[in-house]
Structure 1
């Protein structure tokens, strides 16, 4: 065993602190010499000391710490708080990575004249079958807020044990909801009223996961629905973050204009490789899909 001064020095606390913890009953010495009154501490007391110090770091009072330690719930509470904090840090990293991606894309756009050759990416037209999904839709003030929708949807699916598959995001009103072009709804930095018939003050976004087992119940916000089959879907594959996706949308819009196509529904983003797989946005792989229709002849 170690004398109080040695124990304090090795564990980076003061002797005064250990004496106070002894007085309030948080951490009593393993042994007190009856003749000298010296306090001795054992290595077996380290877990208790570490719990006290962690709880103090989180702002708990000594009275609260005593209650938690007495109830045996300290580890569970600290673990929950650490998990929450870890999630906040991961969100911050994703946000910073996305901002860095946008800055690099802006620099590239300035150097290249902002996509003077938007058709550089290959556009593939394919048939897409219907897909049952677990879906959450909302209208946000800007594109960058969609992270909280993903957190809500994924957390809900995990709560019911549903396997988490490839993330799918849909942007823009359908024709019945206001004739807003799906491709127009993508740009997170465009807060102007582009069209007089725009029926929304925000960006309509739907986040979805392929339906798995067990199927979670609907709760009012989150519902089970089927993404409709599309006979002609224009698709582009783009590597990189959200900023790089502008090139994909530019390529699609240029290709559609040259072919006299129009979007027949919301644009879809299939995140084949996303934040679930890696925080490095340069490794992300997204398939942008736009359902096609030809305008009626006049």
Structure 2
């Protein structure tokens, strides 16, 4: 048997950390002296500690490690599945870091050339268009910003299963509606939706009507600038919001993020004009 000091020295983990692992049920001492409270570990627990350290190096959380090591007893098939999923997660993170590095290069070059770090949005084309009514098969929930990719995958996966089970016909591309009037620490009030041709007890009528619209390319596009441009255009041209802003995905961001095409819509209605006023912009034409 090894004392907690000896065990910690071999594993290069502090006694404080070992006591914490004991408290959360991750790694229990093989023996605790009831008189002195001294803790002892068996030699075979060194292998368990090595596995814990190994998984931590791959950024597994302690909760995930406990599931694999304690609940599932470190079975090879479970470890293989977990490591494969972690590999995919790290690959996605690597792609995001690559995109961030590329954006950093562009920002540095823009500053070096004397340009502003942010575009003012004037170059974003905005069109006024009428969007037809449709039935939506949807799932609405609160989503934290960092959890959006997982929620996108889960919600649209479930909706597509319902689509197939009910033999429903998709009438437009998948979309996401943002119902929040302002940011909340609880997340975004988000509705994932698939427009369908049929009306069922599970669908709802969606009537966006008149909208300001723009098209965005790529997953790293500055959506904040896009939203600001739409809202600013509405204010300047005498419109106000009449419904939740929504995005329509013409391609799947999970497949090829770099080629993602997104249509962004801002439902609006015209402010009441005083006699003799004219907005000067007919519908279905672009705003400069």
Query: TM-score band, normalised by the shorter chain?
Result: 0.5 to 0.7
Q: CA deviation at 1:240?
A: 0.9
RMSD: 3.7
Secondary structure of 1:118's partner? coil
Partner of 2:13: none
Q: Does residue 172 of structure 1 match 2:156?
A: no
Q: Which runs of 5+ in 2 are unaligned?
A: 1-73, 275-288
- The 5-angstrom pairing of residues 77-116 of structure 1 reads 93-94=91-92, 96-98=94-96, 100-101=98-99, 104-105=102-103, 108=106, 111=110, 112-116=115-119
Partner of 2:204: 225
| C-alpha distance 247-282 of structure 1, shift in aligned 2 (>3 A) | farther
Partner of 2:147: 145
User: What is the number of equivalent residue pairs in this alignment?
Assistant: 191
Q: CA deviation at 1:248?
A: 2.1
Q: CA deviation at 1:213?
A: 7.4
TM-score by length of structure 2 reads 0.53
- The 5-angstrom pairing of residues 1-298 of structure 1 reads 57-59=76-78, 93-94=91-92, 96-98=94-96, 100-101=98-99, 104-105=102-103, 108=106, 111=110, 112-140=115-143, 142-160=144-162, 161=164, 166-173=173-180, 180=181, 201-211=186-196, 218=202, 224-230=203-209, 232-275=210-253, 278-279=255-256, 281-295=257-271
Separation in structure 2 between the aligned mates of residue 151 and residue 235 of structure 1, nearest angstrom: 25
| C-alpha distance 245-102 of structure 1, shift in aligned 2 (>3 A) | farther
| C-alpha distance 226-56 of structure 1, shift in aligned 2 (>3 A) | same
Secondary structure of 2:250's partner? strand
Q: CA deviation at 1:211?
A: 2.3
> Would the aligned equivalents of 1:261 and 1:292 in 2 still touch at CA under 8 Å?
yes
Q: CA deviation at 1:260?
A: 3.1
Separation in structure 2 between the aligned mates of residue 152 and residue 124 of structure 1, nearest angstrom: 32
Q: Which runs of 5+ in 1 are unaligned?
A: 1-54, 61-80, 174-179, 186-197, 219-223
Deviation digits for residues 247-272 of structure 1, max 9, x if unmatched?
Answer: 32232133223223222211110111
Partner of 2:52: none
| C-alpha distance 169-114 of structure 1, shift in aligned 2 (>3 A) | farther
